[in-house]
Structure 1
Amino acid sequence: MSTPAPWDSTSQPSQSMRLHPHNPSKALRRDSVGRCLYCYNTIWWYDRADGGRIPLLPREFPTARVPENVQWSVDAGLARQGAVGDFCWIPHPVVCPGIEHDEFKDPGLADLYRQSSLNMQAAVREGRFSAPLIETPEEEGPEARPVNRQCRDIIAYHSVHMVVPTTVGELRCVALSEVTGERCSGLVLDPDAIYQGEWAEQQIPYPRGRLDEPALWEGQTMWVWSLNNVTYQDSVRWRSQRCPSHGTGSTAPDAHPRECEHFDPIGHGFCIRYIKPVTAATFTPEIRQAQRTRCAEKGCLNGKTGRVPEQELVAGVGWLCWKCRPKYTKRRITHRRWQADSDA
């Protein structure tokens, strides 16, 4: 009988959870505990400082016994590369037995890999886990295409490229809805905003090889949904996968793990678009400008985007901005007073 890993113990008492309103991470630890799809070992998901997510081993290890290149730290719910203090965290893929590794030079990592392998073998033997089957095309070669791949878009914010689980127009919010108590049904794309990004052609961020090897994807371009010119608040909202109602200032926790992944040209090659997409998310500032209502006051350049409610319209005049409406009301009161004096 195999000995379970220290992080697989189920005798730990349940504890209450509290989310600090100023915590940059809105993910609850209970919803971020899972098991690896390739080896069934327990993992803890943490938000990364650059907007992604990373699975870590669910315990800390002495920094002196961990190689420097695999040391991670967690602060305020965000994982960052590099150790801080005498203990550090280790990413699960470093010792995952479901991934092919080179020979371990560090004996500590070799022991963790061996223990994870024993846990995986025990789970397979007891029928609790079966390795996922990887479907491959029948024909090999340049004509082959991945099978059962759904349409996924790539969003870009300067040098950060992320793959969304669906198209840009269907990307769903992951926050917890206070009304339903479940995942919010709102979309990240704000159709009422003046500008929410645009399709742009950029070079594929390829990995650099050795000096004597040719660079992959060198000189090739792809179409991405560019967020370079949106406001900073909107860029944070997109990378956090939240709708406008749960954007900046919202303290609602995540009801579902974030589904956006950091773009890898090798693993996400099927997501690369070489032709400009035609989707619902193709509006531009010029198109939205036609739906902008101008203030009815002569000489005023203020306006409002979107449909104007009927209660904000002034009969016989139209819509007045926040600056001109008090002036109009004051003029009306003065006009009525002069009319009353003349009638008397």
Structure 2
Amino acid sequence: MKIFWNRTLHRFCSTKYFSTHATESISKYPRRIFSGIQPTGAIHLGNYLGAIAQWVKLQNEGENIILSIADLHSMTLPHDPKKLRTNILEMTATLLGCGIDPTKTVLFQQSTVPEHTQISWCLGCICTMPRLSHLPQYKEKSKDLKDIPLGLFIYPVLQAADILTYKATHVPVGEDQVQQIQLSQELARMFNSRFGDTFPIPHAIITGSEYARLRSLRDPAKKMSKSDPDPKSRICITDKPEDIVRNIKKAVTDFTSQVTFDPEERPGVSNLISIHSFVTNEPVDKICRDVQNFNTGQYKLIVADAVVEYLRPIQERISHYLSDERHLLEVLKNGQEEASEISSKHWEEVQHKLGLKFKIRKQEKIKTHG
């Protein structure tokens, strides 16, 4: 996978470091990056470039990364247990196929490390209901629900625990996701203020704005999303070639046949050019010059062919890993052991700070006379 990424990462995976409280020093804590991904279905091209590519790049730069397959978060809404088990293994194979190296990155299944839920409970005891009810994620996910599961309401606390359990100093997020770690920052400050310095204040690593250019194929006014009920709205990295071709052929464009890049006036065609640029590592201007004699219908086929070829080696690696379930389970087990070694030490510290753990003092021997 490292060979495959060399060509594209330099241009499309550049990062800038951002903090809402940049004056707070985290130099006393070793630099550690944490991120997670829910096993809730296939990864689309936007996820791949905006998240997984970011992790691979940081990994290959020698960063200390802990990566969680967040299965507990995928239970906040009704789920099929059998499907969840399948999704966990498929996500593991996908991450490995995309370049995550378990000898360089700690890759594990969230629910196998109990410190996540233990520290989540402790953080939940200092968080307030009004604070959680104002979170935009909760409002968005609960707007169509009559009965709201408690897990959906408190999952941001578990999200904060995921980060703080490892004393992570940085979390990769998109520009529209910065608010998701703000609660983690607040809870870290509250805990430190009440019980003594324990957690670093996690900072966000903001991915480049290029990823925001990937839009829905059916509605280019929206971002490409795996939650869109229309499967033709996205390109998943495990899609069959014929499905990729079909989805791109049906992509919404406009009535102008010429291929030009204008995201404001021609978002549909511009989205296809962006996708083409990502998978070929060619500048947008060059692409437009090269295809100036093609109409949009013909151009869609060019884009489809480029995407199919780009994803082919990734799909082959994913299929290889999926054929060896024992290896996938071994990767997760090894990752769990590495994660637990770190989290257990931090949990013990939290227990002492909260008065949950006693320090046993050695009794002095009483000398007797007589």
TM category (shorter chain) comes to under 0.3
Larger Rg: 1
Higher helix share: 2
Structure holding more strand per residue = 1
TM-score, normalization by structure 1 = 0.23
